[in-house]
């Protein structure tokens, strides 16, 4: 399992934990069986949708293991149906201004049956979808790619890109707007705190969010260390552009052999 995949599996679990908290808030509101809480339900529905989109657009595409895909997909299907039910509820409130208690009970029962639905109905549906997809398309592609790598004698069967590509990908996903790798002999010669310094990774964000800049540095450093390299965050500063736009820059010096841009 790749570094990014491990990281994003963890991120997905955190988002699901947040969705569980939201779902419990929704459950509490539905137990009142009153339309006066519909506005709060609508806000929680929107927040749930935002979290689901975060998983779908940012994290899920990087998950490769079928077992992880099945686990995530099964849980997402529960939330798809929950959002559908909540959206219908909000529309009914707007149209009728009064609902039978049985309507509330139906959604309460649905939420209470969450784990059984995920491990049963939704897991079965997700398993079928993944099997069909991989049987018809992806499995052949993966097997062909693997065969080519074996034939070439590659030792990096599960590397999806060069080290430079992975570094840039991690930085941009973490929030960097620009990422540059270069060799600067003068700076490298001063870097006595790293054995055999080889490259500098320079990254920037078009904002004044210092925590974002620090997080990018931590992500890159953690990734390089996980690959067996040394890495030190060398520089962090804020710069004022002539276009009246602030941006933050940071650099990491490493002994990894990287090709400069």
pLDDT, one tens digit for every residue, the chain (261 residues): 788 889 999 999 999 999 999 999 999 999 999 988 989 999 998 899 989 988 988 899 889 888 999 999 999 999 999 999 998 888 888 777 778 888 899 999 999 999 999 999 999 998 887 876 666 555 566 556 555 554 544 333 334 457 888 888 888 878 888 888 877 665 556 555 566 777 888 888 887 778 888 889 888 988 888 888 888 887 665 554 444 456 788 888 888 878 766
Query: What is the pLDDT, as a whole number, of residue 135?
Result: 64
Query: Tokens for 71?
Result: 């686990």
Between the CA of residue 237 and those of 117, 168, 244, 251, what are the distances in Å?
50, 20, 16, 9
Query: Tokens for 251?
Result: 């650099």
Query: What is the pLDDT, as a whole number, of residue 153?
Result: 42
Query: What is the pLDDT, as a whole number, of residue 160?
Result: 44
Query: What is the pLDDT, as a whole number, of residue 134?
Result: 65
Contact, 73 vs 132, CB < 8 A? no
Question: What CATH class does 163-254 carry?
Answer: alpha beta
Contact, 239 vs 200, CB < 8 A? no
Q: Is 175 left (phi over 0), alpha (psi -120 to 50) or beta?
A: left
DSSP state letters, 167-235? HHHHHHHHT-SEEEEE--HHHHHH-TTSSS--EEEEEEESS--HHHHHHHHHHHHHHHHHTT--EEEEE
Which of 112, 113, 130, 26 minimizes the C-alpha distance to 71?
A: 130
| Domain ranges across the chain | 3-145, 163-254
Query: What is the pLDDT, as a whole number, of residue 184?
Result: 61
DSSP state letters, the chain? --HHHHHHHHHHHHHHHHHHHHHHHHHHHHTT--GGGHHHHHHHHHHHHHHHHHIIIIIGGG---HHHHHHHHHHHHHHHHHHHHHHHHHHHHHHHS---HHHHHHHHHHHHTHHHHIIIIIHHHHHHHHHHHIIIIIHHHHHHHHHHHHHTT-S-TT--S-HHHHHHHHHHHHT-SEEEEE--HHHHHH-TTSSS--EEEEEEESS--HHHHHHHHHHHHHHHHHTT--EEEEEEEEEE-TTS-EEEEEEEEESS-----
First-to-last CA distance in the chain?
28
Asked whether the whole model's pTM tops 0.75, one would answer no
């Amino acid at each position: 399992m790749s570094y990014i995949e491990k990281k994003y599996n963890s991120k997905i679990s955190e988002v699901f934990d947040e969705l569980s908290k939201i779902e419990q808030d929704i459950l509490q509101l539905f137990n009142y069986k009153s339309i006066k809480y519909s506005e709060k339900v609508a806000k929680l529905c929107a927040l749930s949708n935002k979290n689901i989109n975060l998983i779908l657009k940012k994290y899920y595409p990087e998950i490769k293991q079928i077992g992880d895909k099945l686990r995530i997909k099964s849980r997402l299907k529960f939330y798809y149906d929950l959002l559908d039910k909540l959206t219908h509820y909000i529309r009914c409130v707007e149209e009728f201004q009064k609902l039978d208690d049985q309507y509330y009970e139906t959604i309460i029962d649905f939420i209470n049956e969450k784990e059984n639905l995920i491990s049963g109905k939704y897991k079965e549906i997700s398993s079928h979808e993944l099997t069909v997809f991989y049987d018809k398309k992806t499995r052949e592609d993966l097997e062909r790619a693997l065969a080519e790598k074996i034939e070439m004698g590659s030792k990096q069967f599960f590397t999806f890109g060069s080290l430079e590509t992975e570094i840039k990908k991690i930085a941009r996903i973490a929030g960097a707007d620009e990422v540059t790798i270069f060799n600067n002999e003068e700076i490298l010669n001063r870097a006595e705190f790293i054995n055999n310094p080889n490259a500098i990774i320079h990254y920037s964000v078009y904002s004044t969010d210092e925590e974002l800049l620090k997080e990018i540095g931590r992500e890159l450093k953690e990734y390089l260390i996980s690959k067996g390299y040394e890495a030190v965050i060398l520089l962090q500063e804020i710069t004022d552009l002539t276009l009246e736009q602030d941006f933050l820059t940071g650099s990491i010096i490493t002994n990894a052999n990287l090709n400069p841009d």
